[in-house]
A and B are shown apart, each in its own frame.
Chain A
Amino acid sequence: MVKFKSVLACLVLLVTGSLARAELVVEVTQGVAEPSPVAVVPFNWSGTSALPEDVAKVVEQDLARSGFFSALPRESMLGFPSRQSDVYFRDWRVSGSDYLLIGRIEPLGEQRLEINFELYDVLKEQRLMGQRVESTPAQLRDAAHYIADRIFEELTGLKGAFSTRIVYVTADRRADNSNRYRLMLSDWDGARPRTILESSEPIMSPTWSGDGSKLAYVSFETGRPAIYVQYLSTGKRERIQSFKGLNGAPSWSPDGNQLALVLSKDGNPEIYVLDMRSRQLQRVTRHYGIDTEPTWAPDGQSLLFTSDRGGQPQIYRLNLSSRDLERLTWEGNYNARPRLTQDGRFLAMVHRPQGGDFTIAVQDLKSGRLDILTRAGLDESPSIAPNGSIIIYASQEQGKGVLAAVSLDGQVRFRMPSPGGDVREPAWSPFLQ
C-alpha cells in the first residue's frame, strides 16, 4: 500500500512537474492609476425616528477621500441590500464595483444602537469581513469612522486614520475690531469642530504629543510668546517655556519625553531640545542664520528643520547623536516646514519653485524625487496623516485661509468644511486610542 502510494506520488510529481514546465508566464508592467470602486449601500435603519448621521455616507466619504477608493453614486445602485441573502453580485459587477459594503442599524434599547456591516469582494463573490458595532446616536459618526478604518485596513493592509483628529487655529475679527483666535479640534475631515482654547492674542504652532493625549502650542496671551502644554481630556494647561524673545514651533519627540523648540534667547533663532522631565534645555544648532520649524524623525534619532543658512530657506537634517548635518532639499528657492511620513521615506513641505508660488510638495528621500502636489499659490503648514496616505494643509481661498487635503500622490484633493474665519496651521493627530 505504501509502495503504491509512493509510486502514485512520483507519478503526480512527474505529471505536475511536466505541466509546470509548460506553464505560460505573462508579465504585466502597466496598469490604470485609478482608485478601486466601492459601493457603500445606505445602511438599513429599522428604528422609527431619524438618525442624526448617515453612517454609510460618512464611511463612503472617508474611503473616497483616502485616494484609495472611489464611491459608486447611490443613484447608480440597482438595489439597497442590507443582508447577504439580498446581494446579487452580478448587479454590482455590472455597476463596476470591486467591493460592496452593506449594513443595518437596529435600535438596542434606550439611546443604544447596533450596527452590523459586511464587506464583499464583488469580483470573487466572497464575503471579506463583517462586524457588529454598538453605538449611540451621538456617537454614530465615530462608529462610521471606525467602520471606515476597519474596511480600509482590510483592503489596503494599512491602518485607517479616519478616527484621528486634527487641530487648527482660526482667527477672525470681531465687531469691536479686536481679533479672536481659537484653537479648534475636529474630526479628520473637519466635521464636529469644537473650540479648545480661545484668546484675543495669537495662537500658533499647535502640535500633538506622540500618544495624542496633549497638545503643545505657542500663545501670546501674556503679551509675549510662551509655550504651553494642554491636556485634551481635562483641558488643563501648563506654561513650560517663556524666554525673552522668540519662543516657538514646539515639536514632541516620538516618545513624548522631549520637546524640540525654537528660542531666540541667545540672539538669533536656534533649535533647542527640552527634556520634559528634568526641564533641562539643550541647544542643538549654532548658526547665525535662522533655524526654525523643527520636527522629529519617526525614529527619534534626528531633527529636520528649516534654515536659511544657505542663503534661502531649505530643509536640513541634524543627527542628534553625531551632530551630522545634511541638507535634504535642493530644488526651488524656498523649502520649509518639513514633515515626515511615519516610515521616514517621504518628506512633505512648503515648496516654492523658481518663479512660482508656495505649494505643497513631497520628496521621496530614497530617490530624491520631488513632486508638487498642489497648485493653489499660498499653501502652507502641511501635516501628514499617521498612515501617510493624506496631507492636510492650509490654503487661501478668496483671501481667506481654508483647510484642504491632498493624497500623498496628489491624485485626490479636497477642501474641508470650515467653521468660518481665517483657518491656519492644521496639525494631524497620531493614531488615537
Chain B
Amino acid sequence: MEIRSYLVPTALATLLHIIVLGGLLTHWIGDAEPERRTPRHIQARMIDLNALSQTPSSPESGAESETPPAPDPAPKPNETQQKQQEQQAQAEQKRREQQAEQARKAAEEKARQAKALAAKRAQEEAEKRKQAELAAQRKAQEEARRKAEQEAQRQAQAKREAQEKARRQAEAKAKAEAQRQEQARAEAQAKAKAEAARAAAEKRAQSVVGDMQSYIQTLVEQNWRIPRTARNGMEAVVAIRLLGNGEVDQATIVTSSGDAAFDRSAVQAVYRTERFERVAEVDPILFERRLRSIKVIFRPEGLRW
C-alpha cells in the first residue's frame, strides 16, 4: 500500500527530470562554440615617400642628355668640289669632331653637374635627415626629461599623499583604539554592575524559589492521600503547569510509579490543592522562568511496607 502510493509521484518526478534534461541538452547542442574565424591580416610594406617622388625624375633627365644632336646633311662631292668637299668634309669632320667634343664636354659637364646636383641633393637629404634625427632625438630627450619630471612629480605627490594617508590612518586608529578602550571600560563597568545586579536578583530569586518550593511541598503533602497500595520506594513524577495566579492549569504523570492508584493519588493531590495562592505574589519574569511549569516527585517515606 505504501509503496504503491509512492509510484505516481516517483513517475512524475522522473518525467520532469527527463523533460528538464532534454531542454538543457538541446540548448547545449545549439549553442556549440562558433567556428573561430581567423582575422584577415593586412600585409603592409614600408614605403619611403621621398624616394618615390625622386625616382621618376632622374630617367627623364638622363634621356635628354643621352640623345645625340642630329648631324648636318653632307654636300655632294666632285674634284674641286671633291677637294672642297674633302676640305669641307675635313672641316666638317673637324667641326663635327669639335661639335662632338663640345657635345661630349657639354654632356660630361652636364653629367658632372647632374652628379654634383645629385650629390648635393643627397647631401642635403642626409643633412636634412640628420637634422630630423637630431630634432627627433632632442624631442625624445625632451620628452623623456619631461616625463621623468612628471614621474618624479607624480611620485613625490604619491609619496606625500601616502604619508598623509598613513598619518590620517594612524590618527584614526589611535582614536578608534582610544574609543574602543573607553567603550570596553564602560562596558566592563556596565557588565560588572549588571552582573552584580543579576547576582543580587538571582539571590533574591533563589530565596523566593526556595520559599515557593517548601510552600508548594507543604500544600501538596496536606492534600496527598497516600493510597493503600503505596509502598516505600515507589516514586511518581507529576508535571504541573501553573497559571499566573497560582491556579493549577494542568497536572500530568510524567514518570509512573507502576501503580495506578499511586499515580492517580499524586495527580489528585495537585488538583485537590487547586491553587498555590502565594505563587501570584512572585515577580512575573521569575514566575515564567521557574514556576510556570514545575515537577513534583512523590516518594513516600516511612510507610509500613
Contact = CB atoms under 8 A, between A and B. Distances in A.
B3 to A, nearest CB: 23
B226 A32 contact: yes
Contact of B221 (A28, A157, A158, A367): A28
Interface string A14-32: 0000010011111111111
B105 to A, nearest CB: 112
B298 A24 contact: no
Given A24-B212, A29-B300, A409-B304, A157 B261 contact: yes
A15 B269 CA distance: 29
A158 B300 CA distance: 20
Contacts of A367: 305
Contacts, number: 114
A364 interface: yes
Contact of B299 (A24, A29, A155, A369): A29
Interface stretch (A33-41, A177-185, A249-257, A298-306): A33-41
B290 interface: yes
Interface string B153-167: 000000000000000
B201 to A, nearest CB: 14
B298 A28 contact: yes
A116 interface: no
A329 B154 CA distance: 116
Given A26-B296, A26-B297, A155-B261, A31 B271 contact: no
B264 interface: yes
B305 A23 contact: no
B295 A25 contact: yes
Contacts of B216: 24, 26
A157 B304 contact: no
Categorize the interface residue count of chain B. Answer: 35 or more
A28 B217 contact: yes
B210 to A, nearest CB: 10
B227 A156 contact: yes
Contact of A68 (B213, B261, B289, B300): B261
Given A28-B221, A156-B261, A158-B261, A369 B305 contact: yes
B294 interface: yes
B229 interface: yes
Contacts of A33: 225-226
A364 B233 CA distance: 15
Contacts of B305: 364, 366-367, 369
A369 B232 CA distance: 13
A408 B220 contact: no
Interface in B280-305: 289-302, 304-305
A383 B261 CA distance: 24
B290 A24 contact: yes
B228 A32 contact: no
Interface string B260-282: 11001101110110100000000
A24 B259 CA distance: 25
B209 interface: yes
Interface string B211-241: 0110011001111111111000000000000
A33 B226 CA distance: 5
Contacts of B213: 24, 26
Given A22-B289, A157-B261, A27 B224 contact: no
A22 B300 CA distance: 25
29 contacts: A22-B289, A23-B295, A24-B209, A24-B212, A25-B295, A28-B220, A28-B221, A28-B269, A29-B299, A30-B221, A30-B301, A31-B226, A32-B224, A32-B226, A33-B225, A33-B226, A68-B227, A68-B261, A98-B268, A98-B272, A121-B268, A123-B271, A155-B264, A156-B260, A157-B229, A157-B260, A158-B261, A366-B305, A409-B304
Interface of B: 209, 212-213, 216-217, 220-229, 259-261, 264-265, 267-269, 271-272, 274, 289-302, 304-305
Given A22-B289, A30-B302, A409-B304, 16 more contacts: A23-B295, A25-B295, A25-B296, A26-B220, A26-B294, A28-B217, A28-B220, A31-B224, A31-B269, A33-B225, A36-B227, A123-B271, A157-B259, A158-B229, A158-B261, A369-B305
Interface of A: 19, 22-36, 67-68, 98, 121, 123-124, 155-158, 364, 366-367, 369, 371, 389, 407-409, 411
